[in-house]
Amino acid sequence: MSARQRQINKDIDMWETNRMLRSGVVTKTDYDEDFEEDNEARVHLLVHNIVPPFLDGRIVFTKQPEPVVPVKDPTSDMAIVSRKGSAIVRTYREQKERKKSQLKQWELAGTRMGDILGVQKKEDDVDKNPEGDFKADHKFADLMQDKNEAVSDFAKRKSIAAQRKYLPIFAVRNELLNIIRDNSVVIIVGETGSGKTTQLTQYLHEDGYTKFGLVGCTQPRRVAAMSVAKRVSEEMGVNLGEEVGYAIRFEDCTNENTIIKYMTDGILLRESLRESDLDHYSAIIMDEAHERSLNTDVLFGLLRDVVSRRQDLKLIVTSATMDATKFSNFFGNVAIFNIPGRTFPVDVMFSKNPVEDYVDCSVKQALQVHLQGLEGDMLIFMPGQEDIEITCELLAERLDDLDDAPPLAILPIYSQLPSDLQAKIFQKAPDGVRKCIVATNIAETSLTVDGIMFVIDAGYCKLKVYNPKIGMDALQIYPISQANANQRSGRAGRTGPGQCYRLYTHRQYKDELLACTVPEIQRTNLANVVLLLKSLGVQDLLQFHFMDPPPQDNIMNSMYQLWILGALDNTGSLTPMGRQMVEFPLDPALSKMVIVSLDMECSAEILTIVSMLSVPTIFYRPKGREEDSDSAREKFQVPESDHLTYLNVYQQWKRNGYSSNWCNEHFIHIKAMRKVREVRQQLKEIMDSQKMELISCGNEWDIVRKSICSAYFHQAARLKGLGEYVNCRTGMPCHLHPTSALFGMGYTPDYIVYHELVMTSKEYMQCVTSVDGQWLAELGPMFYSIKDASKTRVERKKQALNEMIEMEEEMKRADELIKARKEQAVQAAISSHRSQIATPGRRKPGTPASTPRRTPAKFGLLINLIGKISLKSTTGTF
């Protein structure tokens, strides 16, 4: 009998005994006293719902009061299919379970039977130097070395220089550079394949902008930043990481010689924290602006102010959609430049009838295209990782069933795929082999693969949307927008005439798809954004320049979460803890956990746990060996906590010399563990820069659990019934995930906290830790208090009222202080203006009227040079 079944039987027996006792069937002498003792030991919490005065609705934070839904018609065919998902994916999952016993394969290496049969154990790669540069071998830059062979026939025939000249942007190069010279901000519109992403940075370099600072180019996705940087380094004939480099979260491939830097928009956002005017950049390109990612929208507001302060900075915003008027108006009716024409024409074909299963239909269409015999590689767009993996497996299976089918190299690509597998899609396939890339929407924009002639568009994508029911973002499938559809079709026209197969009707395209995707800032949690803006001194969010203002509920929820975590005080201002939290590129709850661990003297353990939570899942269940994988996982499980289970895995891996063989034997992703090690090192460097000490608590894991509770007390659940939990604040049912260490271990604590809630067939809690009820009352006093029999209900209400009155008075004092500061600022401005008028001759002749900005010498040289040239031309004219 399993531990879980024993616990269930014990709970049933207790319940039956209690019922018999209450009904009088048995006497008290026959009753097990342990049951009553357990109840006496339990902590009973009272739940409150205190809201600070700045969030009670009196303050307006945005001009968008209503929430924004990213679907045009929730009752349409495509919206219904997106909610149901693919039927074949569900069926295929069930079939795999049924075939498990038939397809079971055993790994004999290292076992007694393997020794008898002479199966050799693989050589291990134990890290001989644990403190050495362990990152060097796992960078995307190194994985892409020596893989620049041409892929398409067009690329084979043309040199790199000839390919550059063939791009549409080359024909308008001089005109484009003239417009950039004449304007501080330029909006550039060019269809996919026009060469915006790779050529603009090089044109600015060739025009001399890199003499006075970096040319930076932001990308909405990590894979795009890495692959484009590689392509540009090839075109310039330099090594990636030298003159041309990239920077993504937890990986910086640049050095002091870098002049062109590709990066994710989040990297530039964090750089603005350290240097508000971004002085070391001479030009910034905001690429793929039409995607409207969360960080991009915040950068728009920040850069609008930076450009007004720095006249020497060039800001270029590029978009693949023709609706650039919105961007132009936002920056003050700036110039719009259109790059004419696409490289090659693309035939777009719609489905005749609505498609019920997009995975099955995509596989059939891919096989039909492949068997036609036409040359060219294929790109299939799928919503998410599971759909991609099932599509790849189905394609491979159905190809095997065909006689004499041409060879097909099936390659998946999604954001969580390890870097070495991501790099494979850019490599040349063997002669006579067609590549079939199955991708999420990361392949829509800057991620360009030569040789794609056929695109199959399923018509769906996964979007992160704030779900007020669970109080956090949920990743769900939605129909794409018309702009997305046009982007996807453009992928087929890069190196030759292409074809795009849309698995939806023309009527659905017109009537069921939104014109543009709802910006991320209008549909996601904004806790990180609010924290960042507060740290930049933006006190009034209503005054910040959002291109599309976020909904009021989203902002209030985000500010409430920050207030709960202690990042904002009762007046909505940033606290000292909030300033520390900004320094970490983490979710606010994880940042809080790291900071609190310093006081609890367990920062070394918490740093490891946070690093483990910052990467995809580390455990894997290979086909046919699910039971072996589960039993190996159980060896690491700490019954009280999934967080401690992660800590246990890392510590054992470290004791085994960071061995890859050890990971393989225990069904752990070696690449994910190496990434954990890199992330931990970077977080440690941030802690060192903040003078935060790394302290270990040894085996005192209760301290670690209390530190975890400090970050997740607002996501607590209490036991109700047999192994079922309900959220302490909302009462919503929550279930332990079958992979949790607390599931089926015979240990059901009264109170737990969880990292996140995942909505699938049930509301599953992921990464759970058991906590003491007293910890919740101590660390989350705004929500919980221990039931005190000595206090009446009236006394408790009176105490809560007094707390609210104190917060109200604090809010009034803060309002008066803000008002006084504004009046002082106005008086100072008036006084300064008068003193300037009353002081003639203060400014040297020929100098600008405004106060010059303190710029580095390299920018000063440029300004002086321009001044001398203009002076000479003026002298010559007169």
85-105 pLDDT, tens digit per residue, is 888 887 876 676 555 434 434
Q: What's the CA gap between 345 and 321, in Å, rounded?
A: 17
Burial (CB < 10 A; 0-12, 13-18, 19+), residue 548, is middle
Q: Could you tell me the pLDDT band of residue 108, with boundaries at 50, 70 and 90? A: very low
Per-residue model confidence (pLDDT) at position 655: 92
Q: Look up residue 426 and give its two tokens.
A: 């850019």
Q: Could you tell me the pLDDT band of residue 68, with boundaries at 50, 70 and 90? A: confident
**H-state helical runs in 337-413:** 358-371, 385-401
Give the residue with greater pLDDT, 691 vs 119.
Answer: 691
518-564 per-position pLDDT tens digit: 888 888 888 888 898 888 888 777 778 888 888 877 888 888 889 98
Q: Look up residue 343 and give its two tokens.
A: 């490289």
Kindly calculate the radius of gyration of the chain based on its CA atoms and give it in whole angstroms: 30
Distinct helix (H) and strand (E) counts, the chain: 32, 23
User: Do the beta carbons of residue 707 and residue 596 sit within 8 Å?
Assistant: yes
User: Do the beta carbons of residue 668 and residue 775 sit within 8 Å?
Assistant: no
Taking the alpha carbons of 499, 500, 505, 508 in that order, is the dihedral positive or negative? negative
| Res. 497: pLDDT tops 60 | yes
Q: Return the minimum-mean-pLDDT range out of 490-494, 501-505, 528-532.
A: 490-494
User: What residues have CB less than 8 Å from 153, skipping those under 6 apart?
Assistant: 375, 495, 496
793, 795, 794, 773: which is closest to 785 by C-alpha?
A: 773
Top CATH class, 168-339: alpha beta
48-60 per-position pLDDT tens digit: 777 777 776 655 5
Start and end residues for every CATH 3.40.50.300 domain found in the chain: 168-339, 346-522
187, 222, 434, 215: which is closest to 318 by C-alpha?
A: 187
772, 738, 781, 786: which is closest to 758 by C-alpha?
A: 738
Burial 360-379 (b: 16+ CB within 10 A, else e): bbbbebbbebbeeeeebbbb
Per-residue model confidence (pLDDT) at position 421: 72
Per-residue model confidence (pLDDT) at position 690: 86
Q: Look up residue 494 and give its two tokens.
A: 């890069």
Please count the other Cβ atoms lying within 10 Å of the Cβ belonging to residue 463.
23
Q: Looking at 430-546, which runs of residues are DSSP E strands?
A: 434-439, 452-457, 460-467, 472-479, 498-502
pTM: 0.71
Q: How would you write 765-819 as a 3-class SS string?
A: EEEEEEECHHHHHHHCCCCEEECCCCCCHHHHHHHHHHHHHHHHHHHHHHHHHHH
Q: Tell me the range of 51-65, 345-359, 525-539, 820-834 where mean pLDDT is highest.
A: 345-359
User: Do the beta carbons of residue 300 and residue 547 sit within 8 Å?
Assistant: yes
User: Do the beta carbons of residue 369 and residue 343 sit within 8 Å?
Assistant: no
Please count the other Cβ atoms lying within 10 Å of the Cβ belonging to residue 421.
14
323-337 per-position pLDDT tens digit: 688 889 999 889 899
| Res. 377: pLDDT tops 80 | yes
Q: What's the CA gap between 814 and 821, in Å, rounded?
A: 11
| Res. 699: pLDDT tops 60 | yes
Q: What's the CA gap between 370 and 823, in Å, rounded?
A: 72
Q: What's the CA gap between 126 and 664, in Å, rounded?
A: 13
Please count the other Cβ atoms lying within 10 Å of the Cβ belonging to residue 671.
18
Q: What's the CA gap between 190 and 445, in Å, rounded?
A: 12
Angle at 14 between CA 13 and CA 15, to 5 degrees: 90
User: What residues have CB less than 8 Å from 111, skipping those under 6 apart?
Assistant: none
Per-residue model confidence (pLDDT) at position 362: 94
Q: Could you tell me the pLDDT band of residue 118, with boundaries at 50, 70 and 90? A: low
Q: Could you tell me what percent of the chain has a pLDDT over 90?
A: 25
Q: Look up residue 32 and give its two tokens.
A: 């097990």
User: Do the beta carbons of residue 80 and residue 354 sit within 8 Å?
Assistant: no
| Res. 41: pLDDT tops 60 | no
Q: Could you tell me the pLDDT band of residue 391, with boundaries at 50, 70 and 90? A: very high
Give the residue with greater pLDDT, 397 vs 859.
Answer: 397
* Residue 253 φ then ψ, to 5°: -110, 60
Per-residue model confidence (pLDDT) at position 652: 92
Q: What's the CA gap between 658 and 349, in Å, rounded?
A: 52
Q: Look up residue 443 and give its two tokens.
A: 């392949």
- Give the rounded distance of the alpha carbon of 647 from its chain centre: 23
Give the residue with greater pLDDT, 68 vs 829.
Answer: 68
**What residues does 736 pair with on adjacent strands?**
765
Mean pLDDT (the chain) is 79
Q: What's the CA gap between 28 and 22, in Å, rounded?
A: 10
673, 500, 469, 686: which is closest to 598 by C-alpha?
A: 686
780, 633, 763: which is closest to 708 by C-alpha?
A: 780
Q: What's the CA gap between 316 and 66, in Å, rounded?
A: 32
- Residue 146, Ramachandran bin (φ over 0: left; ψ between -120 and 50: alpha; else beta): left
Q: What is the β-pairing status of strands 498-502 and 452-457?
A: parallel
| Res. 448: pLDDT tops 90 | no
Taking the alpha carbons of 480, 481, 487, 488 in that order, is the dihedral positive or negative? positive
| Res. 594: pLDDT tops 90 | yes
Give the three-class secondary structure for 327.
helix
261-283 per-position pLDDT tens digit: 999 988 998 888 888 889 999 99
**H-state helical runs in 247-293:** 265-274
764-798 per-position pLDDT tens digit: 888 999 999 889 988 888 888 776 655 666 666 67
Measured CA to CA in angstroms, residue 266 lies from 249, 564, 595 at distances of 8, 25, 22
| Res. 431: pLDDT tops 50 | yes
Q: Could you tell me the pLDDT band of residue 811, with boundaries at 50, 70 and 90? A: low
Q: Return the minimum-mean-pLDDT range out of 24-28, 534-538, 579-583.
A: 24-28
User: What residues have CB less than 8 Å from 122, skipping those under 6 apart?
Assistant: 109, 661, 664
Name the CATH architecture for the domain at 346-522: 3-Layer(aba) Sandwich (3.40)
Q: Could you tell me what percent of the chain has a pLDDT over 70?
A: 74
CATH 1.20.120.1080 fits 583-786, yes or no: yes
Start and end residues for every CATH 1.20.120.1080 domain found in the chain: 583-786
| Res. 639: pLDDT tops 90 | no
Structure-token match 């999420």, residue found: 440
Burial (CB < 10 A; 0-12, 13-18, 19+), residue 517, is buried
